[in-house]
Structure 1
Amino acid sequence: MPKRLAIVGAGPGGLATARVFLANFPGIKINLFESDYSVGGIWHYPEADNDHRVMYDHLETNITKYLMRFSGFPFPDDVPLYPWRQNVYDYLISYYEKFIKPSQNFNVHLNSRVVELTKGDNEWTLVSRNTETNEETTLKFDFIVLANGHFSVPNVPVDKVPGLSEWIDHGAAVHSKVFKNCKFARDKTVVVVGNGSSGQDIVNQLASVAKKVYRSVTDVKSDLIPDDFPTPDVVETVPKIESTDYARRTVKLQDGRILENVDNLIYATGFYYSAPFLQGSIKAQLDRQTDKEQSTRFYNLWKQIIFVKDPTLAFSLLPQSVVPFPLAESQAAIMVKVFSGQLKVPNQSDDELEPEFLATLPNYHNLADLKDLDYYDELQSILDQTGGEKDPFKPVKWTDKDKLNREKCVEDKKKRNIYLSKLSSDSRAQKIPYILKQFDL
């Protein structure tokens, strides 16, 4: 009887996993479950149906198309150096239609939300619910890959900021997940919390129309906007928020200063990890949460891929600060080795095997400071030791040139942000909202 694989999530991780298994695991039957009505994951952002989707109107990647590509599948020549969200979605559709959709061993379930996943009698039972009809379907599988991403459950510190819940109740405080464009902020005062890529981008877009934009960051001295950035003077960097008062429309900062006449708060503070369909001992071993559906990290993993308590369960693209598309294929190639019995996973987790290395990371899943390069090399080394050169499909092997380009990302991103800051300033001078324009280094 052919082996059966279920993949949960049809974004980059799920699609990459399907491609690699179809190529490297002969005869396996794959079922892909996606709650949306199209593959593409968070990159599916239709203009007529984009409420509560993670993307926003004027978004481009912060990784060049030359690094972001899948193995043997470059972006088209006419795509900008930093692809726009629609470019990425079109790219994923092309990838799906070329490598996955034609296979007779593949079946996709769109509009199908996984609601329960349990293990018993050496097989997995997966229950999915059709989002249109509410009809439930139950299927059995030998292997599971969770590629449902980590961009669905917003992390908003309601319990840590007094008064914030009232702002949320009135729609005046939101997570960056619901940000679409800057038009709502014309002549308003907005506080953006968080200084990651999304936070910086949102501040820049708001500055084209807002009366005042405050960047609330952890360390003001280290997060000041560089002098060579042509950022509109309406932007000011301030410390973290201590408390808020919706009735007075004030925000108190940790340095004691009070911001007045604040209209909106936007929290660009990241997301939780979540697999709400897992239950019982598996959920407890994975997220160590008994009363919540989300967690700041997952546990009991090997190489952030395989669940050591049951190596028939794997995860795609849990790490952050990475180049996701080629990584997803490398991780999937490792999964094939494990699921096919070519590679035995240790009983110990990363926390037990690599405590010194993990202590150098901001958190378990965040491979900051270019530590992702070591991770790619490590996965490739494992593949090399388990016959990867003989596999029909081979993931991207990071060359010295690739690594140099990855290291240049920091400087390239600065050049890109200088251009985008100037774009915001120019838009403000012309009294028009921010609109993304093509830019090459």
Structure 2
Amino acid sequence: MSIDDLPTEKHQFAHPIRSVAVIGSGPTGTPAARHLRDAGLNVRVFERQNQSGGIWNWRPAASLPLSVPTPPPSKGAFTPVVRDGGVFDDPQREVRDRFNPPNPCYWNLTNNVPTTTMAFKDYPYPAGTESNVSHTFLADYVHSYARHFGIDKLASYNTRVEQADKRGHKWVLNLRKVVDEGEGKAREEQWSEEFDAVVVATGHYNAPYIPAIEGADTWAAAWPSKVIHSQGYRVPEPYKGKTVLLVGIGTSGNDIAKDISPFVNKIYMVGRNKLRGPIEYKKQRQMQRFLLPENAQAVSEIKRFVPPAAGQVIQQTSVELTDGTVLEGIDEVIFATGYQYSFPFLPRYHKDPTSTETSDAVEYPLVTDGHGVLHLWRDVFYVPDPTLTFIGLSVNTSAFSFFEYQSIAIARVLSGKARLPSDQDRWRDYKELIAKKGEGKFSHLMNRDGERAYVKATVEWLNRDAEWSGAPLVEGHSEAWLAESDKTVGLIAAKYGLSPEELKRIHQELEESEGLTRENKTDYTTASEETNARANDGVARRSASAIKV
């Protein structure tokens, strides 16, 4: 059953919702706060940075040294701290950087979907805005939105939620504020506040994920500044003349490869030997393998990082691959291997794979292995208790605008202007989703058609309930928006220097490869073999075209 089926039973909140805490003030939490406030609710926003903007806020400082192996999801983003406040010495800013680590924002970061499709409602971008803009432009847009709609007045900046727990029918948030206090010093304050509902808008780019590869911990300990996660990448110049091992051929991996390519000597790019997941996901990953720069070589998965002998520098060691290849002379390692879903302030809702069951853990955890968030209705409402909601978990969407639709849905439900299906129907919907997509990251995967269907269903649901609640009608995607959204793939291709003709050819190849429709289709042993074969084929075709001209 779905929201289109109009079930007769509706969820009834046991207690009125009057106050809501929004955790995070990026492009998800900021519009959520606006719509909740406009719906008549008392709203407080808690943001650990000193302003709105989320991951788009640039800071030149890189992240702290990696924890390898990756910490469990319950501690992935940070370790909660509960202690007395006061002024303390922090000459190297270590405490403040752990409290508020730098964002995964590098200097040349831009959006990957047309800018106009990322606009918030009632707040368009300036006329003439380019389809591809810098992180500073997008951060300024969120800052401007927060000022325009008065969200700064609702926010407690430099404030991190250390714990959020349901006690009775109230959510109790333990809060920690850390600010500068003169040269080499910081001031800390801790307190608690109560709310009827919570919106978690912290996103999913806070807890770097490093695969469990033999020897990675040894390398990270020996050369902490040379073995980093993409979260800590900032500018390409330090990589001049170097050989870089870039682990991951996805969005971040390709972006960083493109960024450092003009400076480096060589890039080894590690991709999965076999692509797994839904067809659309595999197509996306296959498409990304056409985007490698000319001085990059796709290689097989890593078998192990060979432990260094005493006194060896990183260039003297080696990396063994699963196909038997040995890579030597590597200067730097960047893991572009994604992030865990991690909410350390919700410890009772985590069940780490290696942990033992605790008496106060909830029956239905939100996070287990960190690859996805469980037990959510429409990626937003926690099924057992919809006073706990989430925004920003869905992937492959138009981000800002998509998450605003989720914000409006939360505001309508918590203010009583839209109704949730019954508990039974929400569980049924969730089980149908898992049966279709599986648990983990693929449950959050939207892509173009999924995003459009989701928004259409959301708008229809909210507008049906607006007939009896008197709430304003919600406008769905316009024809102009859909037309701009259709340009997304072309925009990404142009960003990586592909012509429309090359893009068309790639699409044809991917369509033909689906279901092994070609009789003599080459069955590549590894993804890297396929990537390099197609790259060589592309070079040959481009050379032939140039000769004809």
- TM-score tier by shorter-chain length is 0.7 to 0.9
> 2:217 aligns to what?
165
Change (3 A) 1:204 1:2: closer
**Which of 110, 125, 133 does residue 157 from structure 2 map onto?**
110
Instruction: Give the Cα–Cα distance (whole angstroms) in 2 for the partners of residues 147 and 224 of structure 1.
Output: 28
Change (3 A) 1:146 1:31: same
> 2:430 aligns to what?
351
CA contact (8 A) 2:114 2:131 kept: yes
CA contact (8 A) 2:373 2:440 kept: no
Cα deviation for residue 219 of structure 1 reads 4.8
The higher radius of gyration belongs to 2
- Answer yes or no: is 1:35 the counterpart of 2:89: no
CA deviations over 1:347-375 (Å, ceiling 9, x no partner): 24343143443249961112246422222
- Answer yes or no: is 1:123 the counterpart of 2:123: no
**Which of 281, 305, 323 does residue 255 from structure 1 map onto?**
323
CA contact (8 A) 1:190 1:213 kept: yes
- Answer yes or no: is 1:278 the counterpart of 2:346: yes
Change (3 A) 1:196 1:393: farther
User: 346-355 vs 169-178, which deviates more?
Assistant: 346-355
Change (3 A) 1:388 1:330: farther
Alignment-mate amino acid for residue 373 of structure 1: R
Instruction: Give the Cα–Cα distance (whole angstroms) in 1 for the partners of residues 495 and 402 of structure 2.
Output: 24
> 1:432 aligns to what?
none
Structure 1 gap segments, 5+ residues each = 421-441
CA deviations over 1:113-157 (Å, ceiling 9, x no partner): 101111122111111011233211111101110001111100111
Instruction: Give the Cα–Cα distance (whole angstroms) in 2 for the partners of residues 162 and 74 of structure 1.
Output: 49
Written as runs of structure 1 = structure 2, the 5 A alignment for 1:123-272 is 123-132=170-179, 133-157=187-211, 159=212, 161-169=213-221, 170-171=223-224, 172-219=226-273, 222=286, 226=290, 233-247=294-308, 248-272=316-340
CA contact (8 A) 2:251 2:288 kept: no
> 2:458 aligns to what?
379
CA contact (8 A) 1:71 1:396 kept: no
Instruction: Give the Cα–Cα distance (whole angstroms) in 2 for the partners of residues 29 and 198 of structure 1.
Output: 38
> 1:427 aligns to what?
none
Identical positions, percent: 24
Scaled by the length of structure 2, the TM-score of the pair is 0.69
> 1:408 aligns to what?
487
CA deviations over 1:175-197 (Å, ceiling 9, x no partner): 10000011121111101111222
Instruction: Give the Cα–Cα distance (whole angstroms) in 2 for the partners of residues 388 and 411 of structure 1.
Output: 40
Instruction: Give the Cα–Cα distance (whole angstroms) in 2 for the partners of residues 244 and 313 of structure 1.
Output: 42
Instruction: Give the Cα–Cα distance (whole angstroms) in 2 for the partners of residues 367 and 206 of structure 1.
Output: 30
Change (3 A) 1:273 1:359: closer
Structure 2 gap segments, 5+ residues each = 1-15, 64-100, 180-186, 276-285, 309-315, 349-359, 500-549
Instruction: Give the Cα–Cα distance (whole angstroms) in 2 for the partners of residues 140 and 61 of structure 1.
Output: 37
Cα deviation for residue 223 of structure 1 reads 6.1
> 1:92 aligns to what?
142
- Answer yes or no: is 1:15 the counterpart of 2:10: no
Change (3 A) 1:282 1:332: farther
**Which of 58, 70, 74 does residue 120 from structure 2 map onto?**
70
Total equivalences in the alignment: 406
CA deviations over 1:86-128 (Å, ceiling 9, x no partner): 00011001111111338xxx52111111011111221111110
CA deviations over 1:221-250 (Å, ceiling 9, x no partner): 946854xx7x75321122222211252421
**Counterpart secondary structure, 1:364:** helix
RMSD of aligned residue pairs (Cα, Å) = 2.7
Cα deviation for residue 80 of structure 1 reads 2.6
CA deviations over 1:371-411 (Å, ceiling 9, x no partner): 22222222112112211798766655113442343233112
Instruction: Give the Cα–Cα distance (whole angstroms) in 2 for the partners of residues 178 and 394 of structure 1.
Output: 43
Written as runs of structure 1 = structure 2, the 5 A alignment for 1:308-323 is 308-323=383-398
Change (3 A) 1:224 1:99: closer
Q: Which has the higher helix share?
A: 2
